[in-house]
Structure 1
């Protein structure tokens, strides 16, 4: 089961709406899939996700990850990309401004194309040999996409 839901606080319009999109919808969708017999959950989170982060965005992403882990999936794959590149129906000002910079950054900070994240997640879904929780950092996603 794949879940790639996510937004920004600005696009959501409020903290509450952001939590609904990036936490509640993701966790509830996963729970429904689990109840229906899904065995592998693959989710896009974010670099820096941490339930104890002082940064709201990273904290919500970390709380979402912890809630999914608590659902006891036989296989749970969490992708933590840096800034995602790709076509969007609506331009995001910060992404437009910072995308050129993020392409130049080293390691985990370097931006990644959303299509590459999708390819890696699909390949991960086809791998039968792993169980438990797998966390794919942005640099690991980029490496596997090559």
Structure 2
């Protein structure tokens, strides 16, 4: 996913939403996972080299989103500032924490979906039986 971040706009928007809007995380396991992306790795010639996407940045009181706040965050001179500027926790650990915190609602939704599926199966079986009963009446009335 991280490798294809700039190649697919839909994937980029999904990753940005997960990192910024939902889990408040950066990368898969840690923010250093962005080194795998050709635009953000430290050997890249572009301005985003040794950086992370803006969606890794913690929100500020500023009205305008700073799209360059993640630049150079993987360089060693920013070690002190990292925790203040970007999310350093990866999205898998953040997702695990979110799931643990919301286990009861998630389980309730899953049980509700399972009950709807079972109810649908019961109604389908009932309809099948009614159709079979009607077909037997058609064949034996002549």
Q: Could you say which TM-score interval applies, normalised by the shorter chain? A: 0.3 to 0.5
- TM-score, normalised relative to structure 2: 0.33
- Structure number with the higher strand fraction is 1
- TM-score, normalised relative to structure 1: 0.32
